[in-house]
Structure 1
Amino acid sequence: MTKPLGYYTSYTPGDESLLERVQEEYGSAFEKMTKREKLSIVMILASDISARLDDGAVRGEIYTVARMMADQLSPSDQTGVIEAIISQIRWGQNAEPVHHS
């Protein structure tokens, strides 16, 4: 993350929020966290957001695709996939859930 946390969130310096405390502790670009720690936050937040959604179950094939990506892609390509998916979740269109009969 080359831009500060406030670029990506509603955080405003001086707002005394959780994001301000996190930025003070770990830096405006999380530079005081290891890559593993950053990925752990991504995993936990993604799990929380997913649990809050009410748009149907995840198709079994998606778990297979994810496992194949984990097994066959380089860490750099895996990170690229994460970035692409985050961009789609935040700014892009999402497909309607497929319901198999």
Structure 2
Amino acid sequence: MSKPVGYFTSYSINDGSLLESLQEDYGPTFEKMTKREKLFLISAIASQLCDQAPGRCRDEIYVVGHQINSSLSVSDREGLIEALINQVRHGQSLKVVTEVSPMK
């Protein structure tokens, strides 16, 4: 069973926030949204957060993205989204390298 949006965010009852408005319009677990609409929001939010994150993606990550989309089942891709979100929020990541060292 899905948890309400407030479980994952800073939403508080009657706080007048956008999160409150979204819950009123689409339900506390966004049950009034289609799967496509939820995936669109995931994509839109992730794209904006990616643009704000420092550094750049290594070229190999673009290849990995293509491999994931062309080789994994829908269920595995959805699970990977969940795992990556968990790691972005709670996991450790490589430190951002601002200079590219020459290849050996």
Q: Give the TM-score normalised by structure 1.
A: 0.93
- CA deviations on 1:25-53 (whole Å, 9 max, x unpaired) are 00100100011100000000001111111
Displacement of 1:97 after TM fit? 4.0
CA displacement, residues 2-44 of structure 1 (integer Å, 9 cap, x when unaligned):
1111100000110010000000000100100011100000000
Q: Distance in 1 between matches of 2:86 and 2:10?
A: 17
User: Do structure 1's residue 70 and structure 2's residue 63 form an aligned pair?
Assistant: no
Q: C-alpha separation between the residues in 2 aligned to 1:84 and 1:95?
A: 16
What secondary structure, in the 3-state scheme, does the structure 2 residue paired with 1:62 have?
helix
Mark the runs of 5 or more structure 2 residues left unpaired by the alignment. none
How big is the alpha-carbon RMSD for the aligned residues of Structure 1 and Structure 2?
1.3
Higher Rg:
2
Counterparts of 1:27 and 1:15 in 2: how far apart (Å)?
16
Residue 57 of structure 1 and its aligned partner are, at CA, apart by: 1.2
Moved over 4 A (4+): none
1:59 aligns with 2:58: yes
TM-score normalised by the chain length of structure 2: 0.91
1:86 aligns with 2:91: no
Alpha-carbon distance between aligned partners in 2 of 1:63 and 1:26, rounded to the nearest angstrom: 34
Deviates more, 1:88-97 or 1:68-77: 88-97
Question: Could you tell me the percent identity over the aligned residues?
Answer: 49
| Aligned amino acid, residue 7 of structure 1 | Y
Task: Give the length in aligned residue pairs.
Answer: 100
Gap regions ≥5 residues in structure 1: none
Q: Distance in 1 between matches of 2:72 and 2:22?
A: 31
